[in-house]
Structure 1
Amino acid sequence: MPILEVENLSVSFKKYTRGFKQTKSTVITSLDVTVEAGEILAVVGASGSGKSLLAHAILGILPSNAITSGVIKYGGEELTPARQSVLSGKELALIPQSVNYLDPLMRVGSQVRTSVKKENAIAAQREVFQRYHLNAGVEKMYPFQLSGGMARRTLLATAMVSGARVIIADEPTPGLDSVVIVEALNHLKESAVNGCAVMLITHDIESALQVADRIAVFYAGTTVEISPVEHFNGNGEQLRHPYSKALWRALPQNDFIPIKGSQPRPSQLPSGCLFAPRCEMATPDCEQERPAMRNLRNGMVRCIHAT
């Protein structure tokens, strides 16, 4: 049984336009994803595809004007707002994208120690700082005294000592040097080996390929494909969705062929398949309705033409 399940998740935001007219902008639609204990699921896709919003929905930290539907389950039980408030930071840990999550009034060593549940807090904090190449004096610093890379490493350290059963790492590696990137990815892998479920949200497919077991591809606020990591190779012939294949071919180390057009804005989503306006395989049937997610070749895909 997956430890974390997201079923048919949709997220919209209420906002007011000129004349105080209320509108609703839907940014995530019919999103499905699961993560099992001992697994790293990498979530990839362009900016604005809903990756970070998914993380915030799981942790229950969406803005107050957010409207959600669908079901999120943890350990087979629905993750209600009450459960989110109890489990966040304990069994569910987030490595946030923004360093602003650090408390500006608290020394960073003390912040990391508050996340330690079972071990000696001081020893655990100092060990993880050493692992991420943060010298002994850093624990006494305040966030404003840290460089961007040091602050990001502190956020990594906070999640890694938490003992959480689910770790959601939202773009954890930007701004880090290659040595620390390797260490961070190895730490995530170790967490999975020890039974943790890891969701790695990243733009960096190459990093994802080093540690992930499966890769979920997001486009315009929904999941278009979930594939075993070994299918991301060669010319992408084992991939299922046209967008996944195009994304793979667009990488510099592959064909370096750009994808024509751009991802639609939430207010301009097509009525049928969200990728149809950019897809070379699109037919009139693709414009009729949004395809459902279906099982195909040991993966999942949202495309009527995938074989």
Structure 2
Amino acid sequence: MTLLRIEDLTVSFVQYERGLRRRVVPGLTGMDLDVAAGEVVALVGASGAGKSLLAHAVLGLLPPNAVEGGRVLVDGTEVPPAERRRFAGRDIALLPQSVTYLDPVAPVGSQVRRAARLAGLPQPRAAAGEALRRYGLGPEVLDRYPHELSGGMARRVLVAIALLGDPRVVIADEPTPGLQADSAEAVLSQLRARADAGCGVLLITHDLVGALAVCDRVVICDAGRTVDTAAPADFRGDGEHLAHPYTRALWQALPANGLRAPRQDGICTTTGAS
């Protein structure tokens, strides 16, 4: 069952220079993907490829000067931009990339309890403590402010908040930077477990290797457009099983594969040490 479908999604921004000069800045130029119940779909691409912008578009969080085209469907029904926010935090949860999403002037406990109330949980205080404990955070964290947490602790708080309400779709935008290896693996395993329980997960990430351990499909994007969909099993060896040259170049550019950078003729050259 497809929970989320994105069809030819485009986003551009209208800007004015010197008062009257109008220009349109493209953001997304054609994104296509779908997420079914029970699967993790990894969206992978270079910085600036439009991955985070897609997440904000799905939840209706674009600024007023954004112009959108294409379609976003939830449970097979097209949802216009103005109506998407009603899904945010309930049916669709965003695990944001930046820890600045935490309110700097509110204790962690009040923020987690508020998320629990918005999710409709009957005992917000108990739910907040249990949510943090699940990610290795003790009850003392409830009384701390975000600036009193390490980067890894703050990111785990964000994970706890995002997954509190048992959403049907989780959009995880770079959920592992700043985490130690074991904590990053735990977060990815939790996302996998959510999918195995029937949730759909869109994992937006630069960490292709980490994503391959938990995802069912890999969607590759470049310059605001999806260019390829590949199976995790195809990412092996020299990339000979990857059909699209851009996908193959991303794989070959990983440190474990020689840090080979693509030239304009499509041939990869080694940029790392010999």
TM-score (norm 1): 0.82
Tell me the CA shift for residue 206 of structure 1.
1.0
Q: In the alignment, which residue of structure 2 is the partner of 1:192?
A: 195
Q: Which amino acid aligns with 1:2?
A: T
Percentage identity across paired residues of the two chains? 47
Q: In the alignment, which residue of structure 2 is the partner of 1:128?
A: 131
Q: In the alignment, which residue of structure 2 is the partner of 1:252?
A: 255
CA RMSD of aligned residues (A): 1.6
Tell me the CA shift for residue 20 of structure 1.
3.3
Q: In the alignment, which residue of structure 2 is the partner of 1:289?
A: none
Size of the aligned set, in residue pairs, is: 264
1:143 pairs with 130, 143, 146, which one?
146
Measure, in 1, the Cα distance between the counterparts of 2:63 and 2:157: 25
Q: Which amino acid aligns with 1:225?
A: D
Q: Which has the higher strand share?
A: 2
Q: Which amino acid aligns with 2:94?
A: L
- Please show how residues 45-60 of structure 1 align to structure 2 within 5 Å: 45-60=45-60
SS at match of 1:123: helix
Residues 91 and 167 of structure 2 are in contact (CA less than 8 Å); yes or no, is this contact kept in structure 1?
yes
Tell me the CA shift for residue 140 of structure 1.
1.2
Measure, in 2, the Cα distance between the counterparts of 1:249 and 1:213: 21
- Please show how residues 1-307 of structure 1 align to structure 2 within 5 Å: 1-18=1-18, 20-116=20-116, 117-118=120-121, 120-260=123-263, 278-280=264-266
Residues 41 and 203 of structure 2 are in contact (CA less than 8 Å); yes or no, is this contact kept in structure 1?
yes
Q: 1:119 to 1:42 in 2, by over 3 A?
A: farther
Residues 46 and 206 of structure 2 are in contact (CA less than 8 Å); yes or no, is this contact kept in structure 1?
yes
Residues 60 and 82 of structure 2 are in contact (CA less than 8 Å); yes or no, is this contact kept in structure 1?
no
Q: In the alignment, which residue of structure 2 is the partner of 1:284?
A: none
Q: 1:121 to 1:16 in 2, by over 3 A?
A: same
Greater Cα shift, 95-104 or 21-30: 95-104
Residues 39 and 213 of structure 1 are in contact (CA less than 8 Å); yes or no, is this contact kept in structure 2?
yes
Greater Cα shift, 41-50 or 226-235: 226-235
Q: 1:207 to 1:257 in 2, by over 3 A?
A: same
Greater Cα shift, 117-126 or 41-50: 117-126
Tell me the CA shift for residue 82 of structure 1.
4.4
SS at match of 2:226: strand
Describe the superposition over 1:215-249 as per-residue Cα deviations: whole angstroms up to 9, x where unpaired: 01110110010111111112111212100001101
Measure, in 2, the Cα distance between the counterparts of 1:126 and 1:178: 24
Measure, in 1, the Cα distance between the counterparts of 2:41 and 2:254: 20
TM-score (norm 2): 0.91
Runs of 4+ residues deviating >6 angstroms: none
Q: In the alignment, which residue of structure 2 is the partner of 1:287?
A: none
Greater Cα shift, 119-128 or 104-113: 119-128
Residues 242 and 279 of structure 1 are in contact (CA less than 8 Å); yes or no, is this contact kept in structure 2?
no
Q: Which amino acid aligns with 1:256?
A: L
Q: Which amino acid aligns with 2:199?
A: C
Describe the superposition over 1:116-168 as per-residue Cα deviations: whole angstroms up to 9, x where unpaired: 33463333322231232222210111222222222111111101112110100
Describe the superposition over 1:86-141 as per-residue Cα deviations: whole angstroms up to 9, x where unpaired: 11111110011111211223221221223333463333322231232222210111
More relative contact order, 1 or 2 (CA 8 Å, 6+ apart)? 2
Q: In the alignment, which residue of structure 1 is the partner of 2:270?
A: none
Describe the superposition over 1:18-70 as per-residue Cα deviations: whole angstroms up to 9, x where unpaired: 46301001121121110101110001110000000000000111111111000
Structure 1 gaps of 5+ residues are 261-277, 282-307
Residues 236 and 245 of structure 1 are in contact (CA less than 8 Å); yes or no, is this contact kept in structure 2?
yes
Residues 60 and 83 of structure 2 are in contact (CA less than 8 Å); yes or no, is this contact kept in structure 1?
no
